[in-house]
Chain A
Amino acid sequence: MTSLLAAAQGAQPLLMLKWVDMLIVILYFAIVLGIGWYLKKNVKTGDDFFVAGRKMTAWIAGLSFISANLSSLETMGWSAMAYQYGMLGAHAYLIGAIPAILFLAIVMMPFYYICKTHSVPGYLKLRYGEGARSIAGVSFSIMTVMVSGASMFAMAKILNLLLGWDMHVSIWVSSITVAIYVFLGGLISAVFNEVLQYFLIWAGSLLIPILGIIHAGGWGKMMEKVQANAAVVHPTLGNADFTSLWSNLGSFDTNPMGIDWFGMVFGLGLAVSFGYWCTDFLQVQRVMVAKDLRSAQNGTIIGAVLKMCVPLIVTIPGLLGLAVLTNPDGSTMVLVPESDPRANITHRTFNDVLPLLMGQYLGPGLLGLGVTAMIAGFMSGMAGNVSAFATVWTCDVYKPLINKKASDAHYLSMGRWSSLVGVLISIGTAYLLFLFSNILEYLQVLVFFFIVPLFGTVILGMLWKRATPAAGFWGFLTAIVFSISMWAFVHTFPDGYRPQPKVTLGRGAAVSVEKTGEGKDERIVRVVVESGEVSTLNLPQFSVQGADTELPATCPVKGGVAKTRVLAPEVTVAGKTHKFGIDGVPVLLRRGVVAKAEESVSRFAPGAFNPDHTRFVALSRKAQPMAVNMYSGWWSLVVCLLVTVLVSLFTKPKPDAELKDLVMTLTEIPREKQVPFYYRPVFWAGMVALVLVLINIIFW
């Protein structure tokens, strides 16, 4: 805590919009609805609705491919990651994306394209049969709308915190807008708007890094400040290096992510990244519907180039948060994770880093553009989910399992209505989260359970003709179950999990604080509660009857001591209302203070990792959550491949004739000897790979 006491001013929004900002936001909604209405006339068949008539050019496919991924939760989330993890946050856009996107373009796209499937589950049907497709189709449908609902809830919460907008209005206005334009124009409308949204996201976001770097005194000065301030913002991380991509990955404790190079390369760079980019249908759908194979491949490579540029508007703002955000007294501003009890009470959170910078640099007009960029990002992500849901539901669940012989007009109608139903289920999920917001923690890892096994199943099917239908089904299912089991294992605490001891001072409590030092060295050494209420969590038993009682600054826990956290969201100090949060100071309760003590011990805590268990998954007790997730992805892939190979050896493969155009050795890939080298996907993939290597060397 850098400023000891802050005036409590109630729940004021972080950003204040003027009429010109609102005009820009309203214009945006009018434009996207107008585009949806205009495109309605182009959707006459199922193919028009589900695959945009397979007529997209490489540029449109590439822009849409990246825009569907570049949601506002992504930009805000990864800015927060850069604030938390420094330069390592950029790996999500480098090794965590580019090799996989290039692999999709050069190796996998020909199979997706030549077999003319509507979707990734559709490929599984052709390659392995109905079993694998059913798992993929049903789980993808459910997951898509649930993730969409979770994003919607998170976005409404963000708009509420930042702008003071009513959460219900945010949810309904944005959802109905997306529903209308996807209902009218299907995939083509979603893609059209995604491309527009991509430009708006850049127009609204690029000024922040430009102004921020000038403000910080240039790139070199900014990085010096990042490393210096990181010690203040993240005091528990010791001398972890925040400014390097690779030189700090020698072991788990030399970098802020708590990961080593193996987890980064094989967990993020191989398992998670290839799973997400090569088999998540939301992404792949955008490029597999291009007008020809070369456009699909080049569109994917264009997507890789655009992805490599995203750190400019995501990673740099996160680093700027460490470098230039200050409190009114000039001290470094400390942001905390959402899970921190001080979050949104006495401290802003990591997720606020981008909005804080917007408030710092963007005046009226530009702020409206920045907020529009956030809303556009949210809507492009949601439209992507909804159009992918409509396709997979209609083509991979409804058509094969429920109504096999309907007309094209019927399936078109089903696609339209299922997009509306998808939006409604998303809204339902969002409202469920109002009641059970901790579900968000489960949903965020849902994708990991599914996409990595899916990649293992698809890639073996493409490259190895011996992989059998039974192996595809059992390998996929076993890896999903294994993935979920691993997640449950690292969050299980056989001895019980006890959250950090905490004292929360009730609103309006009369408090005095004892301090030492002056100016920047001033520190609170004891908090005295004169009257009012306090609640405690996991503190040793105490009594406040008859005499003053002092609550300890630390409490013994297994393997050491834990500091007592003191939170005062709105208390009276010397007649004025203040708020503060502080760790490791004793609290004196005067006689008459009403105290309520609570104990919390649980055997399963999705928000905490058991180091005794993470050492089996990530091979180190020091591994942090991100490292555990990456290693979990790696082991899921290994299990999927092993089970699929083993089962294949004992079961009967499909005959070669049925695998034509589905497996590498049985598919004739069109050769491009007649086109100049600069039109060939392989040439451009090589160029992008070269740039990727150079970036990694420069920021090593």
Chain B
Amino acid sequence: MTDESHDQQIPIWFFIGLTLLVYGVVIFLYGLASWSDKDKLAMAMSHVHADVWWGAGMAVLGAFYTVRFRPGKSAPGGGPA
């Protein structure tokens, strides 16, 4: 988040990436496990299985941020690290 004087500080983007990755994996796996759950299928728009693709999307985005801004890796030039 900050520059020169806090070079050792882990960027906020890493924390955001990690959070999205963990949440995405949990939601994705739960979505797969409950694919045929009757209660879930009774909900509106349940046929699109939003939890599976939304969880997967969050996990991919989170993985990208986690790797790109991992501790020890210098912030990308000009980026908002």
Contact = CB atoms under 8 A, between A and B. Distances in A.
Interface of A: 20, 23-24, 27, 31, 35, 38, 42, 52-53, 55-60, 188, 191-192, 195-196, 199-200, 203, 207, 210-211, 214-215, 291, 324, 360-366, 369
Interface residues of B, number: 34
A361 B80 CA distance: 35
Contacts of A59: 80
B25 to A, nearest CB: 11
B34 A364 contact: yes
Given A56-B1, A191-B1, A364 B23 contact: no
Contacts of A23: 26
Contacts of B55: 365
B80 A369 contact: no
Contact of A365 (B1, B9, B26, B48): B26
Contact of B19 (A20, A31, A291, A366): A31
B56 interface: no
Interface in B18-57: 19-20, 22-23, 26-27, 30-31, 34, 37, 40, 43-46, 48, 50-51, 54-55
Nearest to B13: A195
Contacts of A200: 19
Nearest to A198: B16
B44 A360 contact: yes
A23 B27 CA distance: 11
Given A207-B54, A369-B23, A361 B45 contact: yes
Contact of A196 (B6, B16, B46): B16
B2 interface: yes
B37 to A, nearest CB: 8
B78 to A, nearest CB: 10
Nearest to B18: A31
Contacts of B31: 363, 365
12 contacts: A23-B26, A55-B4, A56-B1, A60-B12, A188-B1, A196-B12, A211-B44, A211-B45, A291-B2, A361-B50, A365-B27, A366-B50
Contacts of A215: 44-45
Given A203-B58, A207-B50, A60 B30 contact: no
Given A38-B10, A196-B19, A199-B19, 9 more contacts: A20-B26, A196-B12, A196-B16, A210-B50, A215-B45, A361-B50, A363-B37, A364-B40, A365-B26
Nearest to B58: A203
Contacts of A38: 10
B64 interface: no
Contacts of A53: 2, 5-6
Contacts of B46: 363
Contacts of B48: 211, 214
Residue of B2, B12, B34, B80 ringed by the most chain A CB atoms within 10 A = B12
A365 B30 contact: yes
B1 A60 contact: yes
B3 to A, nearest CB: 6
Given A59-B80, A364-B30, A369-B27, A35 B6 contact: no
A300 B31 CA distance: 38
A207 B3 CA distance: 35
A155 B14 CA distance: 29
A47 to B, nearest CB: 11
B12 A363 contact: no
Nearest to A39: B9
Nearest to B6: A42
Contacts of A58: 80
B50 A211 contact: yes
A287 to B, nearest CB: 14
A38 B1 CA distance: 13
A310 to B, nearest CB: 19
Nearest to B44: A360
Contacts of A24: 23, 26-27
A200 B20 CA distance: 8
Contacts of A363: 31, 34, 37, 40, 43, 46, 50-51
B50 A199 contact: no
A56 B2 contact: yes
Contacts of B10: 38
Nearest to A372: B23
A27 B58 contact: no
Given A60-B1, A363-B40, A364-B30, A192 B15 contact: yes
A192 B1 contact: yes
Contacts of B6: 42, 53, 55
A520 B41 CA distance: 28
A653 to B, nearest CB: 40
A195 B11 CA distance: 11
Contacts of A324: 44
A211 B43 CA distance: 12
B3 A291 contact: yes
A291 B45 CA distance: 46
B30 A195 contact: no
Contacts of B40: 363-364
When A and B form their complex, which 7 residue pairs have the shortest distance between CB atoms, in order from nearest?
Answer: A59-B80, A55-B2, A365-B27, A365-B30, A363-B40, A211-B45, A20-B30
A215 B44 CA distance: 8
Residue of B1, B4, B43 ringed by the most chain A CB atoms within 10 A = B1
B80 A196 contact: no
A365 B20 CA distance: 13
Given A191-B1, A361-B43, A366 B27 contact: yes
Contacts of A196: 12, 15-16, 19
Nearest to B80: A59
Contacts of A199: 16, 19-20
A479 B20 CA distance: 47
B52 to A, nearest CB: 10
A188 to B, nearest CB: 8
Contacts of B12: 60, 192, 195-196
A196 B34 CA distance: 28
A42 B9 CA distance: 8
Contacts of A365: 26-27, 30-31, 51, 55
Contacts of B20: 199, 203
Contacts of B43: 360-361, 363
Contacts of B58: 203
A60 B16 contact: no
Contacts of B19: 27, 31, 196, 199-200
Contact of A55 (B3, B22, B44): B3
Contacts of A31: 15, 19
Contacts of A55: 1-6
Nearest to B75: A57
